Amino acid sequence: MALLDGRVAVVTGAGQGLGAAEAIALAAAGARVVLNDLPGPGLDAVAAQIRDAGGEAAVRPGDVAEWSTGEGLLSAFDGVDILVNNAGVLRDRMVFSMSEQEWDTVIRVHLRGHFVTTRLATAYWRSLSKTSGRPAYARIVNTASEAFLLGSAGQPNYAAAKGGIVALTLATARGCARYGVRANAICPRARTAMTGELMGPPPDGPDPLSPARVAPLVTYLAGPAGERITGEVFVAHGDVVAVLGPPTVRAAFHASGSQWTLDELDATLGKVFTADPPQPGFVCEETLPLAESTFGESE
């Protein structure tokens, strides 16, 4: 399969789980893959698997939120065509008992980690585009989560980071389109070391929540067809790929005069928000019922 022959793909969090599956799939499609994760045997094992299959892999361990780590990823094969940001950690706790360190760690690894690699890659692509006089081949696939859609109560740090990643993805797509950058985000459901407690043990047979089920979408977005797709957010798992729509305006109200008064706001909004106890309204639960075979070939 020569879909990505000659392309360089950087994958963070590639030592296990989603990142490993994505890196292996990209290599199978012909990309030279730069693998990043914290130091450990996982990176070397993934690299060996890629090389044993005839692919090319470079291992660059390190903290993805460190600038020097990001620079090392781009220099491994002298440039980058595809960036897949996947590195992450969990420090789950309710917001009223979360420590400063638990907040900072998750925001740093997820959101700053995505920023560091995106900042360096887009600067490289911008320079390449200006020098060549044409758009660069530039693909970014960021990893968000349905946690940002649902406001996961026990994961305020993680939900906030994933919401920030979606915003970063959209800003990148809009700000760097002229240079050829196509940036998208995925919200994957996959059984990994990070989600094992939540999703439980895998079944005896084929696992519908295997990380390998998400990898084809990442490879597709990284390929030539990804030229037509940018600024989108996908939910992916099993045989499901769902494209999320943008937020909508549920209702709009106008003051009778030049500005609102407290009494007028109460008279207007008091008729709208009547639930007792109140329930969060800016929550997207439409993704929860998604299951295998939700979308057929005709959709």
Residue 20, C-beta contacts closer than 8 angstroms, at least 6 positions apart: 14, 42, 46, 211
- In the set 158, 256, 293, 298, the catalytic residue is 158
Mind giving me the DSSP string for 172-183? HHHHSGGGTEEE
CA diameter of the chain: 72
Alpha helices in 66-214 (DSSP H): 67-75, 100-106, 113-132, 147-150, 156-175, 196-199
- In the set 68, 75, 124, 162, the catalytic residue is 162
DSSP state of 110: I
In contact, 46 and 15? CB cutoff 8 Å:
yes
Residue 124 corresponds to which amino acid? Answer: Y
The number of residues in the chain equals 299
- In the set 145, 210, 258, 298, the catalytic residue is 145
Please give the C-alpha separations between residue 261 and each of 61, 95, 250, 255, 272, in angstroms, as whole numbers. Answer: 57, 33, 22, 8, 17
Of 249, 231, 245, 248, nearest to 287 (Cα)?
A: 245
Active site residue 145: yes
Active site residue 162: yes
Residue environment code for 95-107, b if the CB has 16+ CB neighbours within 10 A, otherwise e: eeebeeebbebbb
Q: Report how far apart the first and last C-alpha atoms of the chain are (Å, whole number).
A: 27
Helix, strand, coil percentages, rounded to 5, for the chain? 40, 15, 45
Which residues are marked as active site? 145, 158, 162
